[in-house]
Chains A and B, each alone.
Chain A
Amino acid sequence: MELEKKISRKKPTYFREHQEALYKSLEDKHATVEVDKSDPLTTRMTLNMGPQHPATHGVLRVLMELDGEVITKCRLDTGYLHRGIEKMAENKTYQEFMPYTDRMDYISPYSNNVALCMAVERIAGIEIPERASYIRMICCELARISSHLLWLGTMIMDAGALSYFLWTFREREKIYDIFDEVTGHRFTVSHSRIGGVNNDFTPAAVEKIRKFIREFPDELKGWHKTLDRNRIFVDRNSGVGAIDHEEAIAIGLAGPSLRATGIAYDIRTFEPYLHYADMDFVVPTRTEGDNLARYYCRMEEMAESVRIIEQCFDKMPEKGPIRVDDAKKSYPSKDEVYYSMEGLIHDFMMTDTGVCPPAGAESYHAIEAPKGELGFYIQSDGTGHPWRLKINSPSFSNLQGLETILDGEMVADTVVLIGGMDPVMGDSDK
């Protein structure tokens, strides 16, 4: 035992205080699994997973105490991607800050753009044109599909079937192509603007999106066919990491993880934004609360997203402005900038000071990002920079829940559980 202790508690060589505090906190944690201490054979091992580990989806560090292969208690250590995005926001104008939101949840950047824009629009009192909001909705739903595709691929890859990852990536490439056509970049798009969007859909882009939503349901059906009745997959996921709805609310899960426990908390219906109130869609929920339920929720959400995009195309006005025609609130169009003096001045002013919400205003706006509720709490001091901008990120909430869920599961389950929770460290670490 003494030797075991010596090996597993090797002196940390960097950030000594931090490591020691972390290990101490693991020892202090109340174990939820009662293990018979009288058995001399129950030697404990502390296993460090991460920060660089194939299954931690980035740089999450999981510190766990093992009894055989069962995790008796675990601690998550985050912050390996912490760059101080909230500090940076205080030093940028609202529009300048938008590219940073791309790099928050880098699997679905469009949702983050929209979340920031809508938060700023609410605090500054800007109404966006109808066509712009439909463009935002379509792209947000595409981003949701793309995020869930990556979740599907990585989760099954973590369970051991590598090919699914590449199959889902093939579909993701199609969405990348669409974003490439619409916005000019594969995935860090920065397409949304305060007061609208940057540019309209080109006919080629519309054609590509229509083709994608025509073909995608078949692919989805194929995955359902190979996974729903796959015994190994079902056995590995059902009952794993199960949590009931009361506990889920208490530990503050968000998004599909919360909906898998039976709580239909979806901002799109909870307090509809854009034109989601006019759309006909259901919020998929399950009651089991385990990893399989999360799988079904997300899979059904992808199908719903396709339906929403179809309805958007039906209801979208054929022509119309895509940005507010008010130079105090949004960028003027490029035509105006190139051919008129006022346009140039406005463009310059927008870049220099940007939108100025009233002093002392505080406001919150959330959208339903693929991972859950993504909200921005903004405090304004009357200038073009936010005084304080707080990001309410879904991955942060989900990771916090993960710390509770992992207790009592097996080492092999950690990977599917982390995959099933689908955290993005850039989102959670801010």
Chain B
Amino acid sequence: MNTEIRDNILQDIREYLGDDLLELNMKQTYPLLLIPRKRIHDTCRFLKNTLHFAYLNEIIGADRFTSEDRFEVIYHLVSLRDRWRLFVKVLVDEEQPLLPTVSDIWKSANWNEREVYDMFGIRFEGHPDLRRIFLPEDFKYYPLRKEFPLLGVPGSLEMPNTTPDHD
């Protein structure tokens, strides 16, 4: 990855987002963009269609445990053409954990968004099939939130009946 292409890409992103690019973190190996919630859908579309970030690797949820903008969702994008990764971060509020889905842009966002929903309770608007992916639907908590105890809430998941004739 030569620096010229990289600078070009970053320049394109800056131009597209303008003032909405809240932060561009270049301290780590890969750039990390922080953008506002309302721009996420069109930015993702722009990144995929114009800058060839065709491969959505994963969607990461995290709990910052702060009073405002408690959760963050990070989109991990790969450009196979330019051999480069990009991380796009949005902050989500605890009171209203809602984000527009990107599963209409990348099909692979489907399960990743379900995973974030399962672990943090962040709902994705317009998701075709927003169910819990790992835990059963009957479970009412979101385990990766920091207040959830490691050993779980007793009785929140049912144990099988040990008398054989249940039906």
Tally A-B pairs: CB < 8 A: 113
The answer to whether B80 and A263 touch across the interface, beta carbons within 8 angstroms, is yes
**Distance of A88 Cα from B143 Cα, bound (Å):** 11
The answer to whether A251 and B150 touch across the interface, beta carbons within 8 angstroms, is no
Tell me, yes or no, whether A364 is within 8 Å of chain B by CB.
yes
Tell me, yes or no, whether A78 is within 8 Å of chain B by CB.
yes
**A263-283: which have CB < 8 Å to B?**
263, 265, 270-271
Kindly provide the distance from the CB of B167 to the nearest chain A CB, expressed in whole angstroms.
6
Tell me, yes or no, whether A14 is within 8 Å of chain B by CB.
yes
Tell me, yes or no, whether B138 is within 8 Å of chain A by CB.
yes
Residues of B near A341 (CB, < 8 A) are none
Interface residues on B, range: 35 or more
Residues of A near B135 (CB, < 8 A) are 79, 82
Tell me, yes or no, whether B58 is within 8 Å of chain A by CB.
yes
The answer to whether B136 and A15 touch across the interface, beta carbons within 8 angstroms, is yes
Tell me, yes or no, whether B133 is within 8 Å of chain A by CB.
yes
The answer to whether B137 and A15 touch across the interface, beta carbons within 8 angstroms, is yes
**A42-91: which have CB < 8 Å to B?**
78-79, 82, 84, 86-88, 91
Tell me, yes or no, whether B7 is within 8 Å of chain A by CB.
no
Kindly provide the distance from the CB of B39 to the nearest chain A CB, expressed in whole angstroms.
21
The answer to whether B138 and A78 touch across the interface, beta carbons within 8 angstroms, is no
**B105-139: which have CB < 8 Å to A?**
106-108, 110-111, 115, 119, 129, 131-138
Tell me, yes or no, whether B57 is within 8 Å of chain A by CB.
yes
The answer to whether B62 and A18 touch across the interface, beta carbons within 8 angstroms, is no
The answer to whether A82 and B134 touch across the interface, beta carbons within 8 angstroms, is yes
Residues of A near B167 (CB, < 8 A) are 13
Tell me, yes or no, whether B3 is within 8 Å of chain A by CB.
no
The answer to whether A14 and B160 touch across the interface, beta carbons within 8 angstroms, is yes
The answer to whether A390 and B134 touch across the interface, beta carbons within 8 angstroms, is no
Tell me, yes or no, whether B76 is within 8 Å of chain A by CB.
yes
Interface string of B52-81 (1 = CB under 8 A from A): 001111101111000000000010101010
The answer to whether B107 and A251 touch across the interface, beta carbons within 8 angstroms, is yes
Cross-interface CB contact of B55 among A14, A88, A249, A375, cutoff 8 Å: A249
The answer to whether B150 and A373 touch across the interface, beta carbons within 8 angstroms, is no
User: How many A residues touch B, CB cutoff 8 Å?
Assistant: 50
Known: A14-B160, A87-B144, A88-B150. A252 touches B138 (CB 8 A): no
The answer to whether B133 and A78 touch across the interface, beta carbons within 8 angstroms, is yes
The answer to whether B62 and A364 touch across the interface, beta carbons within 8 angstroms, is no
Tell me, yes or no, whether A144 is within 8 Å of chain B by CB.
no
Given contact pairs A78-B133, A363-B28, enumerate 12 new A-B contacts (beta carbons under 8 Å).
Answer: A17-B137, A78-B134, A251-B108, A252-B56, A252-B57, A252-B106, A364-B30, A364-B85, A364-B87, A365-B29, A390-B60, A400-B108
The residues of A with any CB-CB pair to B shorter than 8 Å are: 13-18, 20-22, 25, 28-29, 78-79, 82, 84, 86-88, 91, 122, 249-252, 263, 265, 270-271, 361-365, 373, 375, 377, 379, 387-388, 390, 392, 396-397, 399-401, 404, 429-430
Q: Can you name 18 A-B pairs with beta carbons within 8 Å?
A: A13-B166, A13-B167, A15-B136, A20-B137, A22-B131, A25-B129, A28-B129, A79-B135, A82-B135, A250-B54, A250-B106, A263-B80, A265-B80, A362-B25, A388-B63, A396-B111, A404-B107, A430-B134
Ranked nearest first, the 10 interchain pairs of A and B with the lowest CB-CB distance are A252-B108, A79-B134, A18-B136, A82-B134, A18-B137, A15-B136, A17-B137, A400-B111, A388-B62, A392-B58
